[in-house]
Amino acid sequence: MLRKEVNELLTQTGPGTPTGDLFRQYWIPAMLAEELPENDAPPVRVKLLSERLVAIRDSEGRYGLIDEFCAHRGVSLWFGRNEESGLRCPYHGWKYDYTGQCIEVPSEPEESGFCAKIKLTGYPLVKIGDVLWTHMGDPDDRPPLPEWEFALVPPEQTFTSKRWQESNWLQAFEGGIDSSHVSWLHSDGLKNDPLFKGAAGNKYNQADKKPFFEVVQAEGGLFIGARRDAEDDQYYWRITPWVMPSFTMVPPRGDHPVHGHFWIPIDDENCWAYSYDYHPVRALTADERQAMKDGHGVHCEYVPGTYRPLRNKDNDYMMDRAAQKRGDTYSGVKGIAMQDASLQESMGPIVDRTKENLVSTDNGIIMARQRLRKAVTALRDDGVTPPGVDPAHHRVRSASILLPREDAFIDTCRDALAATPGVKQTSV
Amino acid sequence: MQRRPTLLDSCARAATAAEARFRVAYPNSLQRASLVIALDDGAETVVRAAAQHDWAGARFLTYVEPVSAVGAGPGGAIVRGEDGSESLLGDELGDADVVVMIATSERSAEAASIIGTASFARGIMTAGCVFGAGDAADSGVVTALRPYASVLVVAADDDYVMEMLTALRA
Ligand code: FES
Ligand SMILES: [Fe+2]
C-alpha cells in the first residue's frame, strides 16, 4: 500500500513536478539511433517527460532535440524541411539550428538580426551505443555522459529495442524488480525462448518456485537477490541491480547475452520500455541477433512501421486461451515482454496503489519506492544530487552464481556485480 | 497504422484512465496480524520508535531469552511486550500472518534461529530487516538471519521499518 500523495509524487514527471525534476538530473534514452539514420534524416516527434519535442540530425551530423512547435505561429516542426544545417518550418520559412536557435526569419530584413531573438527550447542529443541520450535539466549542472556497459561495448556485441508501453513508468519499472513473478508469468520462457533456454541454472528455477529474497541497498539504488537451494550446501543466487531512476538488469542465463531495461516516461500515462541485450566479451551470433529482431527474449514484435507492440490492448494482446489452457504460455499472451506489458497496462494507466496488498516478498519494490521518494524530496528540498547520476553507479551488472550458504552475496560478489570491460559475466 | 481485429470478448477501452475510475471501491483485505520482534538492543530502539505510531493491529516485541522448560515446546523463548510484560513466544505466534525480525548485530543469531524455526513450524511467513549505520550491516548478522527469513532486507536507514510496515498494512 502506498499513500495517495506518494503515488502522485512518484508517478508525475512533467515539467515542474518533483519526480520530473529527478528525471531531469540524468542522461536518459530519448530515442534509438536508428530513428535518425543519416544526416538530414526526416525529423522525429519525441515526447519525453510530458514535453513535446522534435529530434533532428542536421547536414553536418549534429543531433538536437528541440521544442516541436515553431515560435512563429505554433506549427509542428515535424512537417519541417531538414536541409542545409537546419530545420525550416514549411509555413513561413522560419529556420532553426540543432540547438533550437532561430537562424532565419525570411520576412524580416537580414540586417535586423531579428532571428537572434527567437530561440526554441533545446536539449542535447548524444549517440552512445544504439541509443541517443538527452539531458533535460539545467545545462549548467550537466552530469558526465552515461557509462552503461550495454552502450559502451562494440556494436557487434549489443542490441537495443524499444516499445511503447501504455502505462505510467513506475508500474512498468516495478515489474523489473518484481522478482517473484518470474516463476509464474514467464515459466514457459525458460523452456522455450531461444534467448533463455538451456542454461544450467534454469533447473533451479524450475525446481523451486518459492525462492528466498535478499534486498540490499546499493550506492546507485538496490541489489535484489533471489536464492534457491542447490547441491553441495550451496545456494543458486540470481541478483538484479536497480540503478536510479529506472535502469534494471535481469540476471544472466548460461552464456546467453545479458539483458535489461530502462523505463522512460513519455507522459504520465505512457512510457518507453527500452530493452537492451549484450554480451560483455563476444559478438552476438547471427542467430541471437535474429531472435532479438524477431521479438524473442525481452524484445517484441511490432505493428509494422511503428514501435507499438503487435500484441497490444486494441487486440487484447492476441490472448490465446487454448495456449493458456495447454500451458504453452502461463497467461495466454505470447512473449516475455508482452506478458509483462499486458498485465502492467491492465492495471490502468496509473495504478491505484492505495488498493494494493503487498507481502514480504515485495520488499524490493517497497525499498525502491522509499529510495525514490527520498531522492525526490532531497533534491526538491535541499538540491541533493540523486543516486545514479554519477557514472560510477552505471558500471553494474546482474549475476547468477552458486555460493556457499553462509556467503553474503553483497560481499562475495562485488566483482561479479561490477561491469569490468573484457571480463565475462558471472552466470550459471 | 494497421489495425488488428479486436476479439469478440475484448474491450480495448478497458485499460483507459476513464475506465479505471470504475474500479470497485471497497476494502479488499481484512486486518493482518503482524508481529514485529527486536532481536537485540540496537533493534529494540528501532522497534520502540516504530511502535509509537498508529498501526492496524501490529504488535511489537523484544526477544529476551530462550526457555527450555518442559512444555515450552521447540523454539521456546521469552519475549517482552511494549508495556514490559513478558510472555512466551509460542503464545504470541498464535494467529500471526507475518513475523518481522529486526536485527542490528551478530548477537541476534540465537534469537533468529529460535523465532525462525518456530515460525516455519507454524507456517508463518518471516521477514528479516537488518540495520547498520551507513554501509548497511556487517555480514555476520546477515548470515545469522539468512536461513530464517524468507525475505531479508539490508537497509541503511532505520526508518525503513516504518516504510515496510506501512506498505504491508501492519
Ligand atoms: S497475483 Fe500479483 S497482481 Fe495478481
Ligand atoms: Fe517479467
Of B19, B23, B150, the CB nearest to A212: B150
Chain B nearest C-alpha distance from A197 (Å): 27
Residue A170's CB is within 10 A of a number of other CB atoms, namely 29
Which residues of B are less than 8 Å from A2 in CB distance?
167
> Within 10 A of A231 (CB to CB), how many other CB atoms are there?
8
Q: What is the pLDDT of residues A112-127, one digit of tens each?
A: 999 999 999 999 999 9
In tens digits, what is the pLDDT along chain A, a chain of 428 residues? 999 999 999 999 999 999 999 999 999 999 999 999 999 999 999 999 999 999 999 999 999 999 999 999 999 999 999 999 999 999 999 999 999 999 999 999 989 999 999 999 999 999 999 999 999 999 999 999 999 999 999 999 999 999 999 999 999 999 999 988 988 899 888 888 999 999 999 999 888 888 999 999 999 999 999 999 999 999 999 999 999 999 999 999 999 999 999 999 999 999 999 999 999 999 999 999 999 999 999 999 999 999 999 999 999 999 999 999 999 999 999 999 999 999 999 999 999 999 999 999 999 999 999 999 999 999 999 999 999 999 999 999 999 999 998 888 888 899 999 999 999 999 99
For residue A229, CA distances in Å to A13, A60, A116, A234, B154 come to: 41, 57, 68, 7, 21
> And the C-alpha cell for B66?
530462550
Please tell me the distance from the alpha carbon of residue A399 to that of residue A251, in angstroms, as a whole number. Answer: 5
How far is it, in rounded angstroms, from Cα B36 to Cα B153?
Answer: 14
The ipTM (two decimal places) reads 0.91
* DSSP reduced 3-state for A79: helix
CA distance A86 to A236: 55
**Which residues of B are less than 8 Å from A357 in CB distance?**
28-29, 169
H/E element, B138: none
Q: Sorting pLDDT into bands at 50, 70 and 90, what band is B10?
A: low
From the CA atom positions of chain A, what is the Rg in Å? 23
Assign B153 a pLDDT band (cuts: 50, 70, 90): very high
DSSP states of A172-200: HHHHHT-GGGHHHHTHHHHHH-TTTTT-T
| 3-state class (DSSP) for residue B49 | helix
Contacts of B4 in chain A (CB under 8 A): 303, 310, 312, 314-315, 318
Place of cell 539483458: A259
Which residues, other chains included, contact A291 with Cβ-Cβ below 8 Å and sequence gap of 6+?
A194, A195, A297
Distances (CA, A) of A280 to A82, A142, A298: 37, 28, 18
For residue B59, pLDDT over 70 is answered with: yes
The answer to whether B146 faces chain A, any CB pair under 8 Å, is yes
Q: Please name the residues in contact with A393: beta carbons below 8 A apart, sequence gap of 6 or more.
A: A219, A220, A221, A243, A244, A387
| Amino acid B71: pLDDT | 57
Is A52 within 8 Å of A71 (Cβ atoms)? Answer: no
Contact B1 A212 (CB under 8 A): no
Is residue B63 over pLDDT 90? Answer: yes
Q: What CA–CA distances, in Å, run from B156 to A64, A217, B44? A: 40, 7, 16
Q: Where are the alpha helices (DSSP H) in A262-386?
A: 286-293, 321-326, 336-346, 363-382
How far, CA to CA in Å, does A419 sit from each of A149, A256, A299, A395?
A: 7, 17, 23, 5
B167 to chain A: which residues are within 8 Å by CB?
1-2, 358, 362, 366, 369
Asked whether the beta carbons of B160 and A374 are under 8 A apart, the reply is no
Residue-by-residue DSSP string for A349-374: SS--GGG----GGGHHHHHHHHHHHH
- Give, in order, the Cα–Cα distances in Å from B44 to each of A33, B62, B98, B135: 54, 6, 18, 20
Name the residue among A38, A84, A47 with its Cα closest to residue A69.
A47
Residue type, A145: L
Q: Is A16 on the interface with B (CB under 8 A)?
A: no
Contact A352 B164 (CB under 8 A): no
A405 vs B: CB within 8 A: yes
Q: Of A259, A267, A397, A367, give the one whose Cα is nearest residue B156.
A: A367
Put the strands of the sheet holding A122-123 in their side by side order: A44-48, A51-57, A63-67, A122-123
SS3 A264: strand
Q: At what angle do helices A169-176 and A336-346 cross, to 10 degrees?
A: 140
Interatomic CA distance for residues A41 and A411, integer angstroms? 49
Residues A258, A397 contacting (CB under 8 angstroms):
yes
Smallest CA–CA distance, residue B40 to chain A, in Å, is 20
B113 contact residues in A (CB cutoff 8 A): none
Residue A194 CA to ligand 2 centre (angstroms) = 16
Instruction: Residue A358: list chain B partners with CB under 8 A.
Output: 167-169
The DSSP call for residue B8 is T
What distance in Å separates residue A162's CA from the closest CA in chain B?
Answer: 18
Give the distance (Å) from ligand 2 centre to CA of residue A301.
Answer: 16
Residues with Cβ < 8 Å from A216, sequence gap 6 or more? A222, A223, A224, A225, A409, A410, B136, B153, B154
B112 to chain A, any CB pair closer than 8 A? The answer is: no
| Contact between residue A225 and residue B161 where contact means Cβ atoms under 8 Å apart | no
Taking contacts as CB-CB distances below 8 angstroms, the residues of chain A near B152 are 212-215
pLDDT at B74: 58
Contact call for B126 and A408, based on CB within 8 A: no
> CB distance from A154 to chain B under 8 Å?
no
Residue B134 pLDDT exceeds 50: no
Distance from C-alpha of A359 to C-alpha of A179, rounded to nearest angstrom: 13
Q: Does B27 touch chain A (CB under 8 A)?
A: no
Which of A307, A362, A363 has the highest number of chain B CBs within 10 A, making it the mutation to test binding with B?
A363
Q: Which residues of A touch B109 (CB under 8 A)?
A: none
Q: Are B163 and A366 a contacting pair at CB < 8 A?
A: yes
- Nearest CA to CA, how far is A283 from chain B (Å)? 34
pLDDT for position A382: 98
Contacts of B168 in chain A (CB under 8 A): 1, 358-360, 366
Please answer whether residues A350 and A165 qualify as being in contact, where contact means their C-beta atoms are separated by less than 8 angstroms. no
pLDDT digits (tens, 9 = 90+) for B76-99: 899 999 999 999 999 999 999 999
Among B residues 115-144, those touching chain A with beta carbons less than 8 Å apart: 125-127, 136, 139, 142-143
Gap from A8 CA to chain B (nearest CA, Å): 14
A212 with B151: Cβ contact below 8 A: yes
Asked if residues A243 and A407 have their Cβ atoms less than 8 Å apart, the reply is no
Q: How many A from CA of A181 to the centre of ligand 1?
A: 8
Supply the pLDDT for residue A190: 82
Query: Residue ranges of the domains in chain B?
Result: 28-167
**Interface contact B86, partner A, CB < 8 A:** no
State the residue for C-alpha cell 530545420.
A87
B149/A319 Cβ within 8 A: no
Global pTM? 0.95
H helical segments located in A275-317: 286-293
Q: How far is CA A374 from the centre of its chain?
A: 21
> Chain A, 75-134: which have a CB under 8 Å from a chain B CB?
none
d(CA B79, CA B60): 10
Q: How far is the CA of B118 from the centre of ligand 1 (A)?
A: 28
Per the listing, cell 566483482 goes with A415
Give domain B28-167's CATH architecture: 3-Layer(aba) Sandwich (3.40)
Q: Within 13 A of A198's CA, how many CA atoms are on the CB side?
A: 7
Q: How far apart are CA B122 and CA B98, in angstroms?
A: 11
Q: Looking at residue A406, what is its pLDDT? A: 85
